[in-house]
Amino acid sequence: MTFATRRIAVALWGGILLTTLLFAWVTWGKPARSELRSPELAGAFLWMAAAVGGAGIVTSRVLPRRIGPRGEVASRGGTALARLLVAWAILEGAALFPLVAFRITGEVLLFLVAAAVLAAHVSLFPSQGLWATLAAQPLPSRGGKGSPVR
């Protein structure tokens, strides 16, 4: 089951990455009409995008490691997949924000922020090593000894 779960993770990783890249391509290729742009907001959006991107990268590394199995029959492969899905979802949102901000402002530097977040997403490819690490990590305890996981 672990191999099949990892294959699913690879497919999901690629789908999320391709979706974000496709949105970036569409954003770059079809500029918004000039009367809809607000270049005066470029500085504020650049700072916000950097903050969202940085927070997304940090959160995608910290939060998923707190996810544990649900119930008695949860597999380690399923837990690893859940951890990676949460990390990828956080990074996808953090990558889409600067692209939307580019549509509003036309500031090209926002693509650098999106590229940095996408690089973090690429680094979370479910390789054998990463998969083994996430599947073998000690699971977080909830409450005292013997308390049920809910």
Tens-digit pLDDT profile for residues 12-69: 999 999 999 999 999 888 765 666 677 788 889 999 999 999 999 999 999 988 887 7
The full DSSP string for 86-116 is: HHHHHHHHHHHHHHHHHHHH--TTHHHHHHH
pLDDT at 112 over 90: yes
Instruction: Count up the domains in the chain and report the number.
Output: 1
Domain assignment of residue 74, yes or no: yes
Q: What is the largest CA-CA distance in the chain?
A: 62
In contact, 81 and 9? CB cutoff 8 Å: yes
Question: Is position 30 within any domain?
Answer: yes
Q: How far is CA 111 from CA 35, 106, 144, in A?
A: 21, 10, 46
CA distance 48 to 69: 34
Task: Answer yes or no: is pLDDT of 124 > 70.
Answer: yes
Q: In this structure, is residue 147 part of a structural domain? A: no
Q: Which CA distances in Å does 127 have to 45, 94, 96, 119, 136?
A: 34, 23, 24, 15, 14
Q: Which pLDDT belongs to residue 79?
A: 83
Instruction: Check residues 22 and 4 and name the one with the higher pLDDT.
Output: 22
User: Are the C-beta atoms of residues 92 and 19 closer than 8 Å to each other?
Assistant: yes
What average pLDDT does the chain have? 84
Looking at the domain assignment, is residue 150 inside a domain? no
Q: Would residue 143 count as lying in a domain?
A: no
**Higher per-residue pLDDT: 135 or 70:** 135
Task: Specify if 141 maps to a domain.
Answer: no
pLDDT band at 80 (very low <50, low <70, confident <90, very high): confident
pLDDT at 146: 44
Closest C-alpha among 116, 120, 94, 114 to residue 28: 114
Q: Which residue has the tokens 């390789």?
A: 127
Take residue 133 and report the two structure tokens written for it.
């690490």
- pLDDT over 90 (residue 99): yes
Q: Is residue 27 part of a domain?
A: yes
How many other C-beta atoms lie within 10 A of the C-beta of residue 4? 9
pLDDT at 150: 39
- Using the predicted structure, report yes or no on whether residue 141 has a pLDDT greater than 60: no
Examine residue 148 and state whether it is found in any structural domain, yes or no.
Answer: no
Residue range of the domain that includes 49: 2-136
